[in-house]
């Protein structure tokens, strides 16, 4: 395995476009063509049939640098409307960083307001897994970890993004554009909202972005899209109605309110008891498993007592618990990773005593700060490379 991290700057492709956009659009006067509601409203107002929207999106996905005039067979009113109010892509790709074994690729994306977000492609080989006792069908596929905000106001103490504070919400178009950029590098089959930001704090844009991703021309299955939240109770209550079939992941990280508040200040606003009530309701309505994310922090939430508390809290749910080894975030971090033995002991209690399916996440992309809790806008560094072999992903978990 090579020790180098490959970094490709793509600013040539973006520079001119980026400056043009930044110079004129701090007020977002130029919208993304993937801001679905806005483009449809504008077409309606101009008397243009909105069924043209899908063919425009398809053309832009295949030709992200296109000029509007190149798109064939649109009504003439559509060309002038597109020219005056929309850009094929409002965001530009600033740089691409590959992990040493090319399993993980991080894209740094420059938004039209000058902000940056990161999106991470993780590649899997489904043939290495088993399904119903047989080698799984299919082959290479990719999961895209998407950002929904620039920074995040939830301030989780173990999370690099939390250290940035909140800067801005992404529009639905800016969220979808991450998929468009990533599709140039890999065939994306799964999307997880586990990048920068708390997706349910940007609810309307996330809902619209998911609807666009599951419709023409992307046609991703809603079963392959996962939204991860710290537990915004009022949003969880409406999520199933707005996006049926979606996977919900909850960043629980502690089995009792006191420890939760210690590591996730936002948990004070969302008491654990009320959160569990909302999850019961969600599961009753959706009849779907819920994914529980649990970061393992040495001496904080990783004792046997915590495993039993977690087991009791979740034993009446259909859940899959994903234990996440903590990624150190430099000198800022007051936390340490739990030892491997402690993590596997924790898993054994949840499996053996409570019969809860519990996995341990194998980290990908640590050398490029692309792993969970590490998404913060920075240039690639050269952290030590850990095992990044193909892993079980959320899709594998959903099938079982």
Q: State whether the Cα torsion 61-186-7-226 is positive or negative.
A: positive
In the complex, minimum distance from the CB of residue 395 to ligand SF4, in angstroms, rounded to a whole number:
21
- Which CB, 196 or 394, lies closer to ligand SF4? 196
Judged by beta carbon, residue 33 or residue 144, the one nearer ligand SF4 is 144
CB contact set of 15 (below 8 Å; sequence gap of 6+):
none
Beta bridge partners of 143: 122, 190
Catalytic residue among 118, 174, 177, 395: 118
Which helix (H) or strand (E) segment is 215 a member of?
none
- The pair of structure tokens assigned to 173 is 């178009």
- Clarify whether 398 is annotated catalytic: no
CB of 235 to ligand SF4, least distance (A): 13
Q: Which phi and psi (to 5°) does residue 237 adopt?
A: -65, -30
3-state secondary structure of 263: helix
State how far Cα 347 lies from the chain centre.
25
- Residue (118 or 208) nearer to ligand SF4, CB: 118
Active-site annotation holds for 372: yes
Which residue from 150, 80, 145 is spatially nearest to 119, judged by alpha carbons? 145
Nearer to ligand SF4, 75 or 265 (CB): 265
User: Going by C-beta distance under 8 Å and a sequence separation of 6 or more, which residues neighbour residue 363?
Assistant: 325, 327, 371, 372, 386, 387, 388
Can you tell me the distance from the alpha carbon of 327 to that of 254, in angstroms, rounded to the nearest whole number?
17
Contacting residues toward ligand SF4, per CB under 6 A: 152, 154-156, 159, 161-162, 196-198, 230, 251, 373
Q: Which is nearer to ligand SF4, 98 or 149 (CB)?
A: 149
Residue nearer to ligand SF4 on the CB measure, 251 or 358: 251
Q: How far, in Å, CA of 304 to CA of 294, rounded?
A: 14
Is the Cβ–Cβ distance between 202 and 229 less than 8 Å?
Answer: no
State the first-to-last Cα distance of the chain, in angstroms, to the nearest integer.
Answer: 33
CA distance 360 to 370: 18
Shortest Å, Cβ 108 to ligand SF4: 17
Mind telling me the catalytic residues?
Answer: 118, 372
């Amino acid at each position: 395995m090579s020790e180098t991290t490959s970094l490709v700057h793509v600013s040539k492709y973006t520079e001119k476009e980026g400056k043009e956009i930044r110079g004129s659009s701090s007020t977002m006067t130029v919208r993304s063509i993937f801001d679905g509601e806005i483009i449809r409203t504008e077409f309606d107002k101009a008397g243009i049939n909105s069924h043209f929207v899908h063919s425009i999106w398809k053309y832009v996905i295949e030709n992200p640098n296109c000029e509007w005039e190149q798109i064939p067979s649109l009504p003439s009113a559509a060309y002038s409307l597109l020219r005056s109010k929309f850009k094929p892509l409002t965001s530009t790709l600033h740089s691409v960083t590959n992990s040493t074994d090319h399993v993980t690729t991080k894209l740094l994306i420059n938004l039209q307001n000058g902000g940056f977000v990161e999106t991470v492609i993780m590649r899997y080989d489904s043939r290495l897994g088993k399904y119903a006792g047989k080698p799984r069908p299919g082959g290479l596929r990719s999961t895209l970890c998407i950002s929904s905000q620039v920074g995040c106001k939830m301030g989780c103490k173990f999370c690099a993004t939390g250290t940035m504070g909140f800067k801005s919400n992404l529009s639905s178009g800016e969220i979808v554009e991450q998929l468009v950029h990533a599709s140039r590098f890999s065939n994306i089959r799964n999307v997880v909202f586990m990048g920068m930001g708390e997706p349910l704090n940007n609810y309307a844009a996330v809902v619209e972005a998911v609807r666009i991703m599951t419709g023409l021309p992307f046609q991703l299955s809603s079963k392959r899209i996962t939204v991860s939240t710290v537990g915004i109770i009022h949003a969880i209550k409406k999520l199933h109605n707005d996006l049926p079939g979606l996977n919900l992941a909850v960043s629980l990280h502690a089995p009792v309110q006191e420890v939760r508040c210690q590591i996730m200040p936002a948990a004070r606003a969302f008491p654990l008891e009320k959160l569990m009530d909302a999850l019961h309701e969600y599961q009753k309505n959706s009849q779907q498993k819920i994914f529980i994310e649990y970061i393992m922090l040495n001496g904080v939430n990783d004792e046997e007592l915590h495993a039993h508390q977690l087991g009791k809290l979740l034993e009446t749910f259909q859940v899959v618990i994903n234990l996440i080894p903590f990624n150190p975030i430099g000198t800022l971090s007051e936390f340490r990773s739990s030892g491997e033995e402690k993590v596997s002991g924790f898993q054994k209690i949840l499996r053996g005593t409570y019969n809860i399916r519990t996995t341990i996440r194998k980290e990908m992309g640590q050398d490029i700060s692309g792993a969970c809790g590490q998404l913060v806008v920075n240039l690639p560094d050269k952290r030590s490379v850990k095992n990044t072999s193909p892993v079980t992903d959320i899709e594998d978990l959903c099938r079982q």
